[in-house]
């Protein structure tokens, strides 16, 4: 596949470096909040705007809730963790790679810490309702997300999560479905059927900032349709490959049904905080106490 391991980890190394330097508090200056754009006037009906309209209104997904960005930014962030592979380190794993590989025992210890400290996992629909309407969340909410379709997320991570009744969010890159060491379509459906959430992570993990024209169909539209066919449920949430996004990507995602999107730990967009929701990668070397500390200081 195009995203070879070395390419993959090299790209992620740059992202991690950025994460480490931007891990500090991501507060939004009050002035920025005050000048946030008014809520888009668009509704689902905008998709049927008259063809004569020279400036079609921006399209909002049918499931989207209209909300002022300042309202979203003012709510306390829910901690969101991002995992990749859950397996023991190998001699061939570089230091950088180890940031994306959490050994099963470390993962077990982290989940136990979360459970012992009263955390409750939530899913994107709950987060979305909270951010847009203020809907109540369980005490100490947290979201566990898993990128890239790695098989050990299904074989190792979810059985551990089952012990605590935890549910996760799996952002699938569809090119890898059924390939060795990646999940199959049946496994993705099994996750969905057992109460986990399935989101999109593009077709083949190319950087969203570089998409043009047909790329939006290849990377966003077709994978969503495929995942909807597999799960029988709407696909409404998206995770940016490498956590990389730009403002131009957001209307493209909205047009294709994504009501929220997840980056990594960069600052949220003042106009579209729902499409720049923050997550932190959990490096493989973090002890439970280290994770607990980052949860508290990063969100
Ligand atoms: Zn990824």
pLDDT digits (tens, 9 = 90+) for 216-230: 999 999 999 999 999
**256 CA distance to ligand 1 centroid (A)?**
20
**164 CA distance to ligand 1 centroid (A)?**
26
**25 CA distance to ligand 1 centroid (A)?**
24
What topology is assigned to 5-42+68-298 in CATH?
Answer: TIM Barrel (3.20.20)
What are 132-152's pLDDT values in tens digits? 999 999 999 999 999 999 999
Burial 166-203 (b: 16+ CB within 10 A, else e): bbbbbbbbbbbbeeeebbebebbbebbeeebbbbbbbb
Compute CA 44 distance to the chain's CA centroid, rounded to the nearest angstrom.
24
**205 CA distance to ligand 1 centroid (A)?**
6
- Joined together, the tokens standing for residue 105 give 């025992």
**24 CA distance to ligand 1 centroid (A)?**
23
Gap between the Cα atoms of 221 and 240, Å rounded: 14
Q: What percent of the chain has pLDDT over 70?
A: 79
Lowest-confidence pick of 19-28, 126-135, 276-285: 19-28
Q: Do 125 and 81 contact (CB within 8 A), yes or no?
A: no
Q: Do 251 and 12 contact (CB within 8 A), yes or no?
A: no
**33 CA distance to ligand 1 centroid (A)?**
30
Gap between the Cα atoms of 170 and 177, Å rounded: 13
Residues having C-beta closer than 5 Å to ion ligand 1: 147-148
Q: What is the mean pLDDT of the chain?
A: 85
Domain boundaries along the sequence of the chain: 5-42+68-298
Q: Which pTM was predicted? A: 0.82
DSSP H or E run through 215: helix 215-216
* Closest C-alpha to 103, from 279, 281, 280, 285: 285
């Amino acid at each position: 596949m195009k995203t070879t391991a070395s390419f993959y980890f090299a790209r992620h190394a740059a992202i991690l470096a950025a994460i480490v330097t931007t891990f500090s508090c991501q507060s939004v200056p009050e002035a920025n909040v005050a000048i946030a754009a008014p809520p888009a006037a668009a509704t689902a009906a905008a998709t049927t705007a008259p063809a004569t309209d020279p400036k079609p209104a921006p399209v909002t997904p049918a499931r989207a809730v209209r909300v002022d960005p300042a309202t979203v930014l003012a709510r306390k962030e829910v901690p969101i963790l991002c995992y990749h592979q859950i397996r023991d380190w190998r001699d061939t794993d570089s230091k950088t790679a180890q940031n994306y590989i959490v050994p099963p025992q470390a993962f077990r210890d982290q989940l136990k810490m979360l459970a012992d400290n009263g955390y409750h996992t939530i899913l994107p629909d709950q987060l979305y309702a909270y951010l847009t309407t203020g809907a109540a969340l369980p005490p100490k909410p947290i979201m566990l997300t898993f990128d890239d379709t790695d098989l050990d997320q299904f074989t190792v991570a979810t059985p551990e999560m089952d012990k605590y009744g935890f549910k996760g969010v799996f952002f699938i890159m569809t090119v890898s479905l059924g390939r060795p060491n990646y999940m199959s379509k049946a496994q993705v459906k099994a996750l969905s059927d057992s109460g986990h959430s399935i989101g999109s992570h593009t077709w083949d993990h190319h950087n969203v900032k570089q998409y043009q024209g047909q790329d939006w169909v290849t990377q966003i539209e077709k994978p969503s349709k495929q995942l909807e066919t597999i799960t029988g449920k709407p696909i409404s949430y998206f995770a940016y490959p490498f956590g990389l996004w730009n403002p131009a990507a957001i209307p493209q995602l909205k047009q294709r049904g994504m009501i929220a999107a997840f980056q990594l730990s960069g600052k949220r967009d003042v106009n579209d905080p729902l499409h720049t929701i923050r997550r932190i990668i959990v490096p493989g070397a973090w002890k439970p106490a280290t994770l607990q500390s980052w949860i508290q200081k990063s969100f």
